[in-house]
Chains A and B, each alone.
Chain A
């Protein structure tokens, strides 16, 4: 399933010209910032840009004006594949408490385990 944003029911798309480009102008990019070395890149938001290079520049200006990061990723939003978040997707794990360490009662005498 693609990360396609559904059109809101009742919302009529207005005919707006944007740079003569596609129906939504510049494509949408998701922005990920690594706050400092040793941490994962984390999703911070999105932006529109005509190409990857400009998307990186805009991400720098838009999301790291105060030294929020040391590295930026941009990914075309359309390339992100999302899970179906129905309960059935994650529910089975609720019934598997034995996967957690706290499931097992260990006598105190055993010590650190």
Chain B
């Protein structure tokens, strides 16, 4: 079979699998563009899980009760696990995790810019779980249907765990909303600061999104940015009202005709500035990540040396 026939056969089979809503698996033929898009999306997703540990890890020692502390530790551990699942899934496409981590450290691959906003008070742990993880869940539930098998399977596993993240966040917000005036103010303040960044997590409007059409055709993405954002808004606005809090958007109205909440204009200048690295914490997050990596080197070296030494010993079972 010559190269062009192999390409045509591969493309035809790939197209048929996508059309039949089946999954593409690691060793299948796939277009270069598909491979690159899935690698980029999964790697950025993995990086986001890993960098996402920082704002919350920062609050573990300041958690108000032992139970809240244990919960926060469990959540941060989950984020590390989610990073692992996603790096593993990405590795099935022929890149090594070391390369991906290197690209993150060198600033050549990005993570979600939501993690470049500071977590200023304990209420932020509530707002992050409720809004940031809540937004991530909306995105990830739909991504369970993504066309790349390992990515889809990672999403199924992550979604099972992520629901705990959102609920523990809302539970923090409920406790504050039922508390003193000062605690209520903390709750409102955290909502004020995290609402818009959470909405920006879904990315630019469909009309501005360079990759949406292609990713939809390949069924990597199953819903557009605006569709997902609207799902999140509709589920979250009533939750804010239940807390007795106000969504920081004077233009927010419920459209009786469509049954959807309509929001005011998102500050896209802030969005692009944060993406491009002007966020308050961009440099700090990466510096911290690289520092942790470098400081862990002796552990990796020791583990490698120990494994090599064990291999040289005569087999105990023999």
Tell me the A residues contacting B by CB distance below 8 Å.
Answer: 5-11, 13-14, 16, 18-21, 24-26, 28, 44-48, 50-51, 54, 61-63, 65-66, 82, 85
Contact = CB atoms under 8 A, between A and B. Distances in A.
A6 B88 CA distance: 14
B81 interface: yes
A5 B78 contact: no
A8 B310 CA distance: 34
B185 to A, nearest CB: 35
A62 B81 contact: yes
Given A62-B81, A66-B161, A5 B304 contact: no
Name the interface size band of chain B: 35 or more
Nearest to B83: A62
Given A51-B306, A51-B307, A51-B310, A8 B93 contact: yes
A24 B26 CA distance: 19
Interface of B: 25-28, 32, 35-36, 39, 74, 77-78, 81, 84-85, 88-89, 91-99, 101-103, 153-154, 157, 161, 297, 300-301, 303-304, 306-307, 310-311
Given A24-B96, A85-B28, A16 B102 contact: yes
A9 B77 contact: no
Contacts of A46: 88, 91
Contacts, number: 95
Contacts of A66: 161
Most buried by B among A20, A47, A50, A85: A50
15 contacts: A5-B26, A5-B92, A8-B36, A10-B36, A16-B98, A16-B102, A18-B98, A25-B96, A26-B304, A46-B91, A47-B84, A48-B97, A61-B81, A62-B85, A85-B27
Contacts of A28: 91
Contact of A13 (B99, B161, B303): B99
Given A5-B92, A8-B94, A19 B297 contact: yes
Nearest to A87: B13
A63 B157 CA distance: 9
Contact of B35 (A8, A51, A65): A8
Contacts of B161: 65-66
Contacts of B304: 19-21, 26, 50
Contacts of B94: 5-8, 11
Q: List 8 tightest A-B contacts by C-beta distance, closest first.
A: A19-B300, A51-B307, A50-B307, A16-B102, A50-B303, A8-B94, A46-B88, A7-B94
A9 B10 CA distance: 15
Contacts of A26: 300, 303-304
B72 to A, nearest CB: 15
A13 to B, nearest CB: 6
